[in-house]
Amino acid sequence: MRTLSDGGILRRARAGDESGILACIQALADYEREPDAVENTVGLLTQTLFGPDPRAFAFVVEGDQEIRAIAIWFLTYSTWTGRHGIWLEDLYVHEPYRARGYGAALLSALANECLENGYARLEWTVLDWNEPAIGFYRALGAEAMDEWTTRRVTGDALVALAARSR
């Protein structure tokens, strides 16, 4: 737990934070021009983050009993380094709380998580049109991996690919 300069508290998410986390996820989807894409629920977040075998984790910034910002992440593994890393799935700060250092504090907490656990990497993606985020990440020392492109299989293509193994 860390108190930030404006009195916000950066801490690990805990049970009871799910609705505030989900509100941040939805706000991020709205910002990324995908307002109908969120299928997540409070129940799914409870299971994922706080169930008996959590596979994802979150840090939050809280103030006045509301979640103001989130960082949701999970572990990766590099065969090249032989070590785990962190994949930042979502970083979001509600608009009224931007420019208070919350994003940098959340990324710093993730970097610290890497160092404390011997993880080799902290990675994430950013939409190519999101210039404010790209500039922010660049200022923190994050390098673009221009030679890599992300691939995704979902929906019918996922079903068809799985059928090939049957």
Euclidean distance between CA atoms 88 and 107, whole angstroms: 9
CA geometry: angle at 29 spanning 23 and 33, to 5°?
145
Total H helices, total E strands in the chain: 5, 6
> Under a CB-based contact definition with an 8 Å cutoff, are residues 25 and 90 in contact?
yes
Q: Based on the residue annotation, tell me whether 92 is a catalytic residue of this protein.
A: no
Q: What is the DSSP letter of 7?
A: S
Euclidean distance between CA atoms 12 and 14, whole angstroms: 6
For residue 24, the SS3 value is helix
Report the catalytic residues.
137
